[in-house]
Structure 1
Amino acid sequence: MNEFDSLINETNPIEKEEIYTESFRAGKRTYFFDVKKMKSSEYYITITESKKRLLRNGQFVYEKHHLYLYKEDFDKFITAINNTVDFVKGTQPELSSSLLFDDDKNQENLTPILNFEDLDK
């Protein structure tokens, strides 16, 4: 736990019981989606991005970024994220990670498999 996490846990008394969690790895990052219960028994979502970092002294630490999403904001959040994803999909050429990398399950050792031989023709 870093200093920021300690500070949040000390100053954020609403963070209580963890109800549900789901996560996925994306390269060097791991994303956690946690449902927690406030003292008032209402649920909220914590989205955490965690990145493993190597310090100069050789020690590994996890850098974490948190987003707290409360029930009254769910619909607005979902609308905004869907609009944003639709925009990116509509304006960027679609590339699948399986087309770009040999092993998309372990993207820490990324090996591009793109073939540029036909560019000289």
Structure 2
Amino acid sequence: MKDINFYSETFSSGRKHYFLDIRKTQNGTIYLRICRSDELGERKYVRSSVIIFDEDFEKFIQGLSSVFHHAAYLFKKD
């Protein structure tokens, strides 16, 4: 039995393709999988991914929120 995919979001930027998936393992654990697939040409790709399990969602979202908050002001000129 494979993991169940609850929701997916995909987008591309040039030869980079991103995949955000909320999935459930066979034993019922929920996780977020973030993948990036780089197109090398001639139907060849290299893929990288990170998995965040549900027990870490709150801390992960807090971290992302902090990073985006700081990034919003990083290049702001007074």
TM-score (norm 2): 0.82
**Match in the other structure for 2:23:** 36
**Match in the other structure for 1:77:** 60
Gaps of 5+ in 2: none
TM-score (norm 1): 0.56
**Match in the other structure for 1:16:** 3
Q: Which has the higher strand share?
A: 2
Q: Percent same amino acid among aligned pairs? A: 24
Q: CA RMSD in A?
A: 1.8
Q: Which has the higher helix share?
A: 1
Cα displacement string for residues 57-77 of structure 1 (whole angstroms, at most 9, x for unaligned residues) = xx3311111110100111111
Aligned residues: 76
Structure number with the bigger relative contact order (C-alpha 8 A, sep ≥ 6) is: 2
Larger Cα-atom Rg: 1
State yes or no: 1:63 paired with 2:46: yes
